[in-house]
Amino acid sequence: MSGTPLRPLVEPVDALTPDELARYARHLSLPEVGDLGQRRLRAARVLVVGAGGLGAPVLQYLGAAGIGLLTVIDDDRVEVSNLQRQILHRDADVGRPKADSARDALLRLDPHLSVTALAERLSPDNALELFAAHDLVIDGADNFATRYLSNDAAELTGTPLVWGTIFRFEGQVSTFVPGHGPMLRDLFPDIPDADSVPTCAEGGVLGVLCGLVGSTMAAEAVKLICGIGDPLIGRLLRTDVLGTTFTTLRFSADPDRPAVTDLTEVAVACAAPPAASAPAVDEVTIAEARALGADAVIVDVREEWERQVQSIPGTVHVPLDVVVDRGWPALAEVVGPATDIVVHCRSGVRSAKAVAAAAPGTPEGVRLRSLAGGIEAWSAADSPTPAR
């Protein structure tokens, strides 16, 4: 990284109100923050990409810290399974846009906050305008395409970016400041394939890990805004909560890396369908599967604990890893003489993998298909559309 010390990101507001002086008293007692630093926090405009596992704690702590303007962008809706780690949301928020739920939670924390909720996806069409309108961006996205979009938009607009990832029991955090140290593409030059790492839904994530990593990201934001401490520029902080270890990897800018000049490459990655990690196989819709009735056998390839939470009545169970390991014989043992086999999982990704693994050995005359949308779509077909 550059040897030039980082300047604070923003000029401070003129003064704090008496109520603000009382609310932020513990910051004011810190010589490194003090009145000046708190006035800088009050002047800052921060964009948070995602209101999920990482975005939730980031938003909570930045809202509590007194950031002047918070914008949250997320096109997802709150699900029951989110509540184990995304503690910004409540049970009553299930079905609501996460961005709206997050805004309301922050205003409950402090009614005087300025919070903008964008219930949409960060895309090549809006990224540059959004980044340019903020002093700092926090990337809490859960997919590679959006992470690289954030990096490229930051590089093109010169906007500092705090980046983090989580999976199972491990997390990573780094800070990228264009013109003052390496960027994400210096650390990981190429956008990985969408299916190169399992999603949190497939691989799981320890709920408290989100708070640990998200709080670290929020701390990076405060340091950058106030111009204090030593941000993680040119360093990748890695944590493993099972081993209670923290390690730091130092990296530098690659002089041979081409500069980012536009969003063309990342636009291709962002245009990939959400189920890009699923192989192309024959699918059956919810309506078609239900019309088959007793003539079809529905095979559930999820884990047993998932079936205990929710299951389609009358299904048989063969875990995905068994199907991948044994192919068609694993299904043949449970489907009997049936000739119409429908395989399902949560959303359709794992069932497509199971069908692809079993298809080569499927006997002639047997129709093997993946249930499009999985049990989520099956359940949604029975439920009214959530109110907007």
Among 10, 9, 43, 38, which residue's Cα sits nearest to residue 160? 9
Spatial contact of 65 and 109, defined as CB atoms under 8 Å apart: no
Q: Is 270 one of the catalytic residues?
A: no
Other Cβ atoms within 10 Å of 3 Cβ, number: 5
Among 40, 79, 63, which residue's Cα sits nearest to residue 116? 63
Residues in the chain: 388
Amino acid identity, residue 310?
Q
Name 109's Cβ contacts closer than 8 Å, sequence gap at least 6. 60, 63, 64
Percentages of the chain per state (helix, strand, coil), in multiples of 5: 40, 20, 40
Distance, in Å, from the CA atom of 61 to the CA atom of 47, rounded to the nearest integer, reads: 14
- 309-333 core/surface letters (b: 16 or more CB in 10 A; e: else): eebbeebeebbbebbbebbbebbbe
From the candidates 210, 226, 270, 345, which is the catalytic residue? 345
Cα 31 to Cα 28, 36, 45, 221: the distances in Å are 7, 10, 23, 18
Amino acid identity, residue 280?
A
Please report the DSSP string for 197-216 in residue order: S--HHHH-B-HHHHHHHHHH
Distance, in Å, from the CA atom of 161 to the CA atom of 71, rounded to the nearest integer, reads: 14
From the candidates 200, 210, 226, 270, which is the catalytic residue? 200
Among 53, 251, 45, which residue's Cα sits nearest to residue 139? 53
Amino acid identity, residue 278?
A
Q: Is 226 one of the catalytic residues?
A: no
* 3-state DSSP assignment of residue 304: helix
Name 246's Cβ contacts closer than 8 Å, sequence gap at least 6. 237, 238, 239
Distance, in Å, from the CA atom of 87 to the CA atom of 91, rounded to the nearest integer, reads: 10
Catalytic machinery residues = 200, 345
